[in-house]
Chains A and B, each alone.
Chain A
Amino acid sequence: MRRTAVIAGMAACLLSWPAAAQDSRVAARDVVKKWQAAIVNVRIVLKMRMSMGGREMQASDDPVDAVGTVIDPSGLTVLSLGALNPGALMSKIMGANSGSGSDPQVEITSEPTEVKIRLSNGQELPARIVLRDEDLDLAFLRPVRKPDKPLVSIDLNQSAKPSLLDQVLVLTRLGRVGGWTAGASLHDVGAIIEKPRTFYVLGGTTSSMGTPAFLTNGKVVGLLTLRQIEAGRASMASMMGGSEGLGMLGVILPAADVLEIAKQAPEK
């Protein structure tokens, strides 16, 4: 009898684990369905300029594709600032690689010349950059003209704080090659940074930036951004270990922090 109970218990365990996993995936699919229209593609044309010793060596136009999140029915969209400013990132990498922290002789700058938000239905909205936050790696865009009807947007007020090893759902949207299809992935919260402010670090890797992360119950956790600190002297060997060697780490910035900064975004 006792033996039967143990076996039954083990069977229940074996059956319930995949069932729970299955449940969370079903719930996650509902979240994707509900919010996927709020995940948009952003196309930015950048004028890239490299100068050496104060002298322009090369200037070119480079279109960059990024993913953003609509956080307001009027079209206010947030994305990772790094997408708008790859020049700063390249300067940082070159500086780190030179071993001197930065090379004052070489400067790479990128200035946007055109910004467009591409909605999930294919409509393109010319947009403006209205606010940046270098500290938190955020850029906020607004459509130049008010959209014809309110856009699907993620309400950052409905947020939640995950615990370590909680499962979070990251939404994204593929680019041109992927036919602009909505995408999603499940991750565990691998670490929680508490100082100087709270950031959640995903277990495993994701290339998404500027996209939202949710708990599987549909509460938004925050936005994926790139946390950067002064890398100091970085060697090639340290860079082999990944972006940490360059002083960079992908993190989830809590929704409340995004919301706080968004309050400063001008209406026009």
Chain B
Amino acid sequence: MRGLFATVLFCGVAAAASAQAVSPPSAEDAAAVEAALAKVGPSLVRIHVVSIDYQDGRELKREASGSGTIISADGHVVTNHHVAGKTRAIRCTLASREEIPAELVGTDPLSDIAILKLRPATPRRFPVASFGDVAKLKVGDRVLALGSPLALSQSVTMGIVSNTEMIMPGMFWPFNRMTLDGEDVGSIVRWIGHDAPIFGGNSGGPLINMQGEIVGVNEISLGLAGAIPADLAKEVADALIRDGRVNRAWIGLEVQPLLSSSKAPRGALVGGTIDGSPAAAAGFQSGDLLVKIAGRDVLVRFAEEVPIFNQLVMRLAVGKAVEATVLRNGAEKTLTVTPTARESVDARIRELPLFGITASNLTSWSAKELKRSTRDGIRVRGIRPGGPADDAKPALRPDDVIVAVDKQPVGAFEALERTIDGLTKSTAERVPALVAFERSGERLLTVIELGRPGLEDPGLEARKAWVPISVQVLTRELSEQLGLSGKTGVRVTRVFGGSAEAAGLKVGDVITALDGNPLEASQPSDAELFATMIRQYKIGSTATLTVVRDAKELTVPVKLDTSPRLPREMKKYEDTNFEFRVRDIAAADRVSARLPADQTGVLVDAVREGGWAALGHLADGDMLLTIDGDVVPDVEAVQRKMATIAEAKPRTVVLKVRRGIRTFFVELETGWR
């Protein structure tokens, strides 16, 4: 789905290029725009989220941004489900540039609407934008798209309404079904098409009329932008604020427009019914023409009319029988159907790290799709490559349904978690578990070694003899220019100290032999020759170098050092709360970054995407100097300091960082939970 949005938004960017040729608005227009903006601008918010996605059996966090509008004085914000529906953290930047944390109140993938609630430090009233009457909107009306395109500060673009009944064009098949979490958004949404350029980041922002009222919530761009109509957005927003969810009716009737060959003046063609659904129980048959339901006449001639019919059905009262009239073989027939509560198509996906999978409960929909008679079991959604489930024989695969672990039936996700917990809580070792699962009607057994992946010690580097200098090959050309024609060897370019300094080696020395053996280096490809020859010696032994210095040949005995520890061998600490890793400074770091010998601190080794450290823009390679004002000379100091921070759980943590030649402070915001 994310891929589809990327494509869709890409089209929006392309459209923007041609929009640059539009002439600037007149003074009158500018005044009208200003007046409309004055009404909505103060309630516009930029939304910065850490969104959750699932890939390869893992939960992934990503930073993303979108737009929203404050629609209640106590801080409810309407935006898109695809902006904020699946998040770990949400922060909103108001028009005043204040940044305020927010939480998700409810989300509805079917309409792609989500509601957030601003959580300021102290309760307060917020400026509110109001919804307009979409019924009054006409093709050609001017509209403004507000939001935070490309995560920039609040911006506005202008266009006209191009279409008030925009649907996904059939020619874009298979993309004309735009699904979010399995829900077909186009099944109830007819977008307001408009040509105000929108970009990634505009999602969730308001489309307003020139009266400064919200007429839509921007969602997609197919070249033409598409906004969810305000009436639908408001209905969903009210339900989410009131109930935290949208309760809809379902009868399981598959309806399509009348065939072009049909001469029927009314009705909608019944394609079929879902097995076990209220419509099937009521006796609907494929080929029926539905002409009336719950007292409302039905006419679906075109694809544009299907969403309206679906909305009508979804608004029926759950559990209350209604009459439907169908034409079957030319005769009217009355059927009685009792809607049930509509279930989400998809259940929430969660990660089971000890299994190495992502999984979800079965919904009625997914059970039907997998041709299962019950909803008992856990549906495998993703497999972590190389993880326990992938390593099992046979390995699990997506869409397998786990039905028992350790001979205990697992009807739902929570039961599986309890079983895993029971098996693994008393040991850090891997625990083999017998797992029963279903695949395409087969019931299979496998053994999964439950265990959490941990980074292995990458192993020490072999220690070898070393002369702490760097050298370059004495090429034929260099030797001629330096008056050393006929000589081969290497030229000292840097002395790092240690035994080389003690032996008196100097930059510019040309080493021509080692213990009397000529150093036959004359090509760039011989660059390793000196170091390789040295590596053949025992650590601590003495090698005698033949050196040419100032046109005089010297013999320089050098006691060989031990090769230094590599950066990867240095002591490390990984902070799981802020999701970054640091290590002690290695000798190689001091050389490459030319750090002074007394430089203390730790180097940032990894910053996990979407973690608090990444959100604060800490980066790999940064040198951490202080944490909340305390100097951290080494990894142990960082570990101690972070332990006290984990205990105290402050709202922010301030790091002093050196990056290149610059020093600055990084403020990490936290969301302890």
Contact = CB atoms under 8 A, between A and B. Distances in A.
A47 B455 contact: yes
A60 B385 contact: yes
B182 to A, nearest CB: 25
Interface string A183-204: 0000000000001110000000
Interface stretch (A67-75, A132-140, A165-173): A132-140
Interface string A132-152: 111110111000000000000
B453 to A, nearest CB: 5
Contacts of A46: 386
B644 interface: no
B550 interface: no
Contacts of B58: 61
B622 interface: yes
B524 to A, nearest CB: 7
Contacts of A61: 56, 58, 384-387, 453
A136 B463 CA distance: 12
Interface string B47-85: 000000001101000000000000000000000000000
Interface in A111-154: 111-115, 128-136, 138-140
Interface residues of A, number: 45
Contacts of B535: 135
Nearest to A142: B459
B520 interface: yes
Given A113-B455, A132-B460, A195-B529, A45 B609 contact: no
B456 A113 contact: yes
Contact of B606 (A56, A57, A62, A115): A56
Contacts of A138: 462
A112 B655 CA distance: 30
Interface stretch (B107-115, B194-202, B232-240, B613-621): B613-621
Contact of B459 (A63, A131, A136): A131
A55 B579 CA distance: 13
A53 B464 contact: no
Nearest to A60: B56
Nearest to B461: A132
A135 B524 CA distance: 18
Contact of A62 (B385, B455, B609): B385
Q: Of residues A60, A62, A107, which shows the largest number of chain B Cβ atoms within 10 Å of its Cβ?
A: A60
Nearest to B532: A196
Q: Of residues A55, A61, A197, A230, which shows the largest number of chain B Cβ atoms within 10 Å of its Cβ?
A: A61
A196 B386 contact: no
B462 A132 contact: yes
Contacts of A140: 459
Interface string B449-469: 000011111111111100000
Interface in B32-59: 55-56, 58
Q: Of residues B386, B463, B525, which shows the largest number of chain A Cβ atoms within 10 Å of its Cβ?
A: B386
Nearest to A49: B606
Contacts of A134: 461, 566
B666 interface: no
B461 A113 contact: no
Contact of A132 (B458, B606, B620): B458
A229 B620 contact: no
Contacts of A113: 386, 453-456
A84 B568 CA distance: 14
Nearest to B534: A196
9 contacts: A45-B387, A58-B609, A61-B56, A129-B456, A129-B458, A130-B459, A133-B461, A139-B459, A229-B525
9 closest cross-chain pairs (CB), A and B: A54-B619, A196-B532, A45-B386, A63-B386, A129-B459, A54-B620, A133-B462, A196-B529, A56-B609
Interface of B: 55-56, 58, 384-387, 390, 453-464, 520, 524-529, 531-533, 535-536, 566, 604, 606-609, 614, 619-622
Interface of A: 43, 45-47, 49, 51, 53-63, 84, 107, 111-115, 128-136, 138-140, 195-197, 229-230, 232, 261, 264, 266
